[in-house]
Structure 1
Amino acid sequence: PGRRISINVSGEQLKRDEIVTMCDRVLRETGRSASQFIIEITETAATAATPEVLRRLEALRGLGFHIALDDFGTGHCGFNYLKTLPIDSVKIDRSYIRSLAHDQVAQIFVSALAQIARIQDITIVAEGVETAEEFTLARTAG
């Protein structure tokens, strides 16, 4: 209970109409609830999202899937995407977490992202936290 399975979905898969019907069919065939799954899209896929892709993401959310933006901070995805994309969570790329101890830009980035996420009711996930120090720094940053 409370655990979810993450599924990486590529930008190419999101361009295909059948992604929503396939996911719906799998849920019906397995008897699983969509709320047990997280569909992860990369920052690259998000920046290339067409109106059709956005509709598919909305449809998947409508089925109950949790949508996560993965590796945030590695590409050209700005904070504005947090307002426009139909997402439930953002996964901060591990490079920012590893840099928190010595990089003021990483500290400000993580802090700003956390503030925006709170306003947008988006969950933040810090990838790559391996030490107690990284945990404390990530927690302090936001």
Structure 2
Amino acid sequence: MSITDGRPVKSEAPAVKSHTFQLTMEEARAASDIVIGAFLVNGLSTYVLFYLGDTRSFVSLALGKKFRDAPGTLDSPLEVEISDDHTVSAARVFRMSVLNMFGERFLINLVLIPLRGLKVIIGIDWLVPNGAMIDCERHLVKVRTQSRG
């Protein structure tokens, strides 16, 4: 907030930086540092990539169009590097989306960005609070659940 002519004026929030990357399904399956699987997101079956290198969780524009609820707005815009020297500004987020996996429902916030190939990327913002452990060698994800702790 800044003051102009004695009146408070809401200033633009600085953009937060993040990064992700573009992968095809074949590239994702061949990568040794990520895990991919098919799960339900807001009731839609889709491929989900679990990746410790992303600070946020993302959903493709194409899949986001199929969600029933309208996206909200981020508190601060997010500048997302999606490939070398290509950055997009993201301002819309699906808050409280439902990720179904392992017979459990998990809530997740998904930022809308253009993605090719993959539809959902789950990052640190969801992995850490949910006690997720990624075993890249065996391509497994373990998550702390309500029923199993």
Above 0.5 in TM-score?
no
Bigger Cα Rg: 2
Q: TM tier, shorter chain?
A: under 0.3
TM-score by length of 2: 0.19
TM-score by length of 1: 0.20
Larger strand proportion, structure 1 or 2? 2
